[in-house]
Amino acid sequence: MKLSKYWKAAVAGVVAGAGALGTAAQDGRVTGPEGLAIAGAFLAAAVAVWRVPNKGPKDPA
């Protein structure tokens, strides 16, 4: 089983979620709707990246 497909999706989700969290925490607290936006950013990025197939190896010839 190749994990690269899952790792790239997890990293994309974490980066998107962290960016949304950083924006939401500017005032020192995270509200319910902001929490939903953070979760949505994480899921949207992870699913979008997971759906894109990895390129195959290049032909050395």
Among 5-14, 26-35, 52-61, the minimum mean pLDDT is found in: 52-61
For the stretch 29-49, pLDDT in tens is: 999 999 999 999 999 999 999
The whole-number average pLDDT for the span 45-61 is 82
**What's the number of CA atoms in the CB half-sphere (13 Å) around residue 45?**
20
The whole-number average pLDDT for the span 7-22 is 94
Task: Say whether pLDDT at 61 is over 90.
Answer: no
Do residues 13 and 46 lie in contact, with contact meaning Cβ atoms separated by under 8 Å? yes
Radius of gyration over every alpha carbon of the chain, rounded to an integer in angstroms = 16
Do residues 51 and 5 lie in contact, with contact meaning Cβ atoms separated by under 8 Å? no
Predicted confidence band of residue 1 (pLDDT cuts 50, 70, 90): low
